[in-house]
Amino acid sequence: MTNKFFTRNNLLVAAAFAFLGLTGCNPEEDVNPDGVLSASETNEAVAAAASGVKYRGNHYIVLSNTETLPAGLGNQLASINGRMTNIWSEAGVATVYSEDPAFLAKASRIQGVRSVVRDLEIQWIKPDSREVVLHEEVYGNPPNSGDNDTRFDLQWGHAAIKAPAAWNAGVRGKGVKVAVLDSGFDLDHPDLAPNILMNDSKSFVVNDKNEDLWYALDDAFSHGTHTAGTIAAADNAYGVIGVAPEAKLILVKVLSDHTGSGAFSWIMAGIVHAADKGADVINMSLGAAIPRNGWFVNDNGTPTNPSDDYLEKGSTSAVQELLIALDRTTQYANKKGVTVVASAGNAANNGNKDGSLVHVPSASSQVISVSATAPFGWALNPYGVFMDNFASYSNYGTPDIHFAAPGGDSRFAREPQGFQPVKIGPVTQVAYAFDLVYSTGNTRVPNAGAFYWSAGTSMASPHAAGVAALIISKNGDKMDPAQVLAKMRDTADDLGKPGRDPYYGYGRVNALRAVTE
């Protein structure tokens, strides 16, 4: 759904949302923190999740009994009509292509193989469930910014986590590499180009569109470009600025721009690639809610249970094997010294109450899960409004959330003053739009897509990843991920109940405290 309208400056605008995950919710509905989903709501959530998951024909994931693959596995797979497409020996995982209908059963009998499961294609981003904010004007430096990047005044999230104060303390992300696993990227964007490590960047998307690393659509909205800008847009007297503006970016395309979908194996390949290229931080602003009961949709769109094809293990075990495969790649990255950060998801799901779905990769091993916060009417009171309201759409739950960070929300649109025109610098916009997160967009759309507003835990995760980059920049790029997590935990602003709570986790990240305490 896209609502387009014109402001008095004749700017083409619409509210921006980039919802990740497979279960939907109205972003303007209030969350009941202590409520439990009814049986019908749970069934609907599982059904919605299943509709976005299907088998990837002839593609399999093979796990060994240990974190080392059996010797000669490639030859053994070839003897039963299988061709290895990726091999991650130190994680004990390989991906295989085979057109043999009996391949799964044959491969399961190889000595040293723990399990063989079908690869999945999952819709990690829903392209049609967001609205895009575009504006066409070019303008100079706004007043009171404290920075010479021309659109810095629109980035309330940086103020909320005290990023400018961290920069003033001398920490700006220098020496740190952040890998962004996402959809395509605008590689020529003036705010990103100075920080992109092109030789280390790569696309793993394999489909009939032949998508490369570039964002493939003639659309101002570019999810990957937006998240990358929040992390490390350059401090170049232009546009916006990242939380860690001197960090370098390894851009890894793992999702199709056309569908928002990506294979389970593409995500794993992207994680391993980033770790092998020396990333210090991985950000994954993507997510899927997988039904624990194992019901997916097959290549023909028919609901199917993995036990129909994999009789040695039941449906729940097949799901569990996929989660173990993903865990092994995140653990591999962790052992290589990579701090992995992911969005918690936008289904307003209460992880304390509803166990029918598992959200990945945020629930994967060694992954820092980030929920979203937002102001309510920031544009009308930028110096006095509370900026840490829990976002209406964000997933929550004590075991599910490590930290909160700015993600934005459109709830203020329900108020009459939400549509009041407000001018900040030279930008005139309806008030509620300013509560969203402003970052880089696709410049390949003439005169339109360089920047836009969006909201979601997708926008929160990059803020937290940027703080992780600042911590590593301050303490050295050999800092262990456990130390990064401990520093984030010890310096977060504890906004909910004392200690770890279901909404803010250990607290909303604080860049200044993270690099000075």
pLDDT 10s digits, 36-57: 333 333 444 444 445 567 888 8
Nearest residue to 342 via CA among 394, 290, 284? 284
Domain boundaries, the chain: 5-52+124-516, 57-120
Strand, coil or helix: what is 102?
Answer: coil
Does 18 or 204 have the greater pLDDT score?
204
Residue 351: per-residue pLDDT: 86
Active-site residue set? 182, 223, 458
Query: Which amino acid, one-letter code, is at 194?
Result: P
CA 312/CA 325 separation, integer angstroms = 18
pLDDT in tens, 75-131: 999 999 999 999 999 999 999 999 999 999 999 999 999 999 999 888 888 765 444
CA 88/CA 397 separation, integer angstroms = 33
pLDDT at 162 over 60: yes
Strand, coil or helix: what is 52?
Answer: coil
Written as six digits, the tokens of 56 are 């990837």
Which element (helix H / strand E) includes 359?
strand 357-360
Nearest residue to 17 via CA among 289, 159, 226? 226
pLDDT in tens, 463-517: 999 999 999 999 987 799 999 999 999 999 999 899 999 999 999 999 999 999 9
Residue 40: per-residue pLDDT: 38
Residue 293: per-residue pLDDT: 66
pLDDT at 422 over 60: yes
Nearest residue to 133 via CA among 455, 456, 453, 458? 453
Cβ pair 284, 228 in contact under 8 A: no
Residue 128: per-residue pLDDT: 52
Written as six digits, the tokens of 403 are 């930290």
What residues does 297 pair with on adjacent strands?
54, 303
Distances (CA, A) of 367 to 92, 434, 464: 19, 30, 12
Written as six digits, the tokens of 175 are 């020496």
Out of 78-87, 145-154, 353-362, 398-407, which region has the weakest mean confidence (pLDDT)?
Answer: 145-154
Nearest residue to 119 via CA among 318, 402, 381, 287? 318
Mean pLDDT, the chain, as a whole number? Answer: 83
Residue 123: per-residue pLDDT: 86
Instruction: Name the band, by pLDDT with cuts 50, 70 and 90, for residue 303.
Output: low
Nearest residue to 156 via CA among 389, 370, 448? 389
pLDDT at 136 over 60: no
CA 116/CA 118 separation, integer angstroms = 7
Q: Which long-range contacts (CB under 8 A, 24 or more apart) does 207-212 make?
A: 207/256, 207/258, 209/256, 209/258, 211/184, 211/253, 211/256, 211/257, 211/258, 212/184, 212/253
CATH for 57-120 is 3.30.70.80
> What's the CATH fold of domain 5-52+124-516?
Rossmann fold (3.40.50)
CA 173/CA 128 separation, integer angstroms = 34
CA 376/CA 439 separation, integer angstroms = 19
3-state secondary structure 282-334: EEECCCEEEECCCCEECCCCCEECHHHCCCCCCHHHHHHHHHHHHHHHHHHHH
CA 474/CA 295 separation, integer angstroms = 46
pLDDT at 15 over 60: no
pLDDT in tens, 237-270: 888 999 999 999 999 999 999 989 999 999 999 9
Out of 141-150, 260-269, 437-446, 449-458, which region has the weakest mean confidence (pLDDT)?
Answer: 141-150
Cβ pair 96, 108 in contact under 8 A: no
